[in-house]
Structure formats: structure tokens, C-alpha cells
Amino acid sequence: MEQKLVGTIAIITGASSGIGAATARRLAAHGATVAVVARRADRLDTLVSDIEAAGGSALGVQADITDRAQAERAVSTVIDRFGRIDILINNAGLMLLGPVLDQDVEEWERMIAVNQRGLLFMTKAALPHLLIAANDELRGVADIVNISSIAGRQAWANFAAYNMTKFGVNGFTEALRQEVTKKHVRVGVLEPGAVETELISHNNDTIKDHLAVSDAKNIPEKLQPEDIAESITYMVTRHRRSSIAELWAMPTSQA
């Protein structure tokens, strides 16, 4: 495999499972040193060991990114250790579904905290470092990839608050892209359709049963986390003149 990311430092949030873990493995295989961020330290330890056993370089950083101080500390830990940040993958997320009338407001708050506030905190803390890396001789570019969703483009009943968080991520991404693209920080949004991960598991059985029979969500063959990791890798390995501002990645079997 051609290693296009040798010498780069990448931070991946939500790397203890699913898309984030697959992305960490993939970017590490391309030569990036990956700082993997999440709350479950045991999962991060296993991931770091796997990446190192495969010849890569990784650092586990335990943090709850909904806490601004912890998000800032995650970034400063990476800077203290490696001195630079080239790539930020804002992937951590939570999807709790239900009708607006019945859903617990506390679930909305938890989603907003991870999907939006955590993403803002990580971006704000990492951006000054990305701006420096973007203008040095290694690649002459830096990257932020925000993991939104098809739910950032399309709304459905029972997805209202999740839709709101992901539509918000899309708007934030494009506004930030316009602010920093001429300074060589590429900012892009990736919107996956259904991916086989733990995401749905945090919902109650009523919602899971509803999704299982809903036509819109009846998807015989979901994407695998590796498919999205590949798309992310595509975004961050383009020539510096080329910025993928938006990428919508769907399972073939999802209409």
C-alpha cells in the first residue's frame, strides 16, 4: 500500500468502535500516527496494540469530548507528544431516536453534547495547530473531516433531534471550509448511509423494532465501517490542490 500519510499526526474521535476504529487502522496503514480518542480506555488499548502489531503508530487518549476541558486536554496531549496535528476526524456520535412528543429531553441533550458541542470543542482546540501544519513542507495542507450522516441531508419521522444535530454539522462544516480553505486547511463533510456498527444499540427495543420493519430503513446489506474508513482516507489523501467538501456514501441496497 502506498503510504501517503507518513509523518502526519491524525486525531480520530469516537475511535473505540465502528467507523472511528476502522478509520484509525486505515490511516495508520497509510503511515499516519493516529491519536485515538474515546471514553472506553480498554477498547482504545486494544486498538493501539493492534495498530502497533501491524507496524503502525498510535496513542490512546481517553476523553469525554462533551466536556470542553477534556476535549482541549486531548488536543494538548497530542501536541505535547507529537508537536503537530495534520488531520482531525470528528467522528464521535450518538443516535437516539424517538417521536418528539415522547422522547426524553435528556436524550436530546446527550446527542447535542456529542454530535455538536464535542465536535465544536475539538475543532476549536485543534484548528490553530492544523493551520500551522497546513503551511509547512510536509504536505502543505491539513484536513478536518466531519462525520455527518444521510440524516444531515434527509429528515424522517422519529429522527428529529438526530436530524437536527447532523444538519447542523453540515452547515458548520461548509461555513468553516470557507473560512480556512485559502489557508490550506481542507474541511469536508462525509455523510454515510447505514453502516453496521454499535450506533443503533443505544436505542430502546421499541425503536429497534420500528426500524427493523420500516421500509426506509430495511437495508439488506449495510456498509461496513471499513467502507467509510476508505472514503475518509480518500478525502485526506488528495493532492493539496483538491478538496472534497462533501461526500455522500450509501449502501447500494439503501434507497
Q: Which positions touch ligand NDP (CB under 6 A)?
A: 13-20, 38-40, 43, 64-66, 91-95, 114, 118, 147, 149, 192, 194-195, 197-199
Beta strands in 125-194 (DSSP E): 142-147, 185-192
Q: Residue 117 or 129: which CB sits closer to ligand NDP?
A: 117
The Cα–Cα gap between 24 and 213 comes to: 33
State the sign of the Cα–Cα–Cα–Cα dihedral 113, 95, 10, 15. Answer: positive
CB 14 → ligand NDP: shortest distance, Å? 3
CB 253 → ligand NDP: shortest distance, Å? 13
CB 43 → ligand NDP: shortest distance, Å? 6
CB 136 → ligand NDP: shortest distance, Å? 29
Q: Which of 162, 164, 169, 173 is catalytic?
A: 162
Q: Residue 92 or 141: which CB sits closer to ligand NDP?
A: 92
Q: Residue 5 or 61: which CB sits closer to ligand NDP?
A: 61
Q: Does 234 qualify as catalytic in the annotation?
A: no
Q: Residue 130 or 194: which CB sits closer to ligand NDP?
A: 194
H or E segment at 171? helix 160-180
Q: In what order do the strands lie in the sheet with 57-62?
A: 57-62, 33-38, 9-13, 87-90, 142-147, 185-192, 246-249
Q: Residue 134 or 244: which CB sits closer to ligand NDP?
A: 244
The Cα–Cα gap between 85 and 34 comes to: 10
Beta strands in the chain (DSSP E): 9-13, 33-38, 57-62, 87-90, 142-147, 185-192, 246-249
CB 223 → ligand NDP: shortest distance, Å? 7
Query: In terms of C-beta density within 10 A (0-12 exposed, 13-18 middle, 19 or more buried), how is residue 35 classed?
Result: buried
Question: What is the set of active-site residues?
Answer: 162
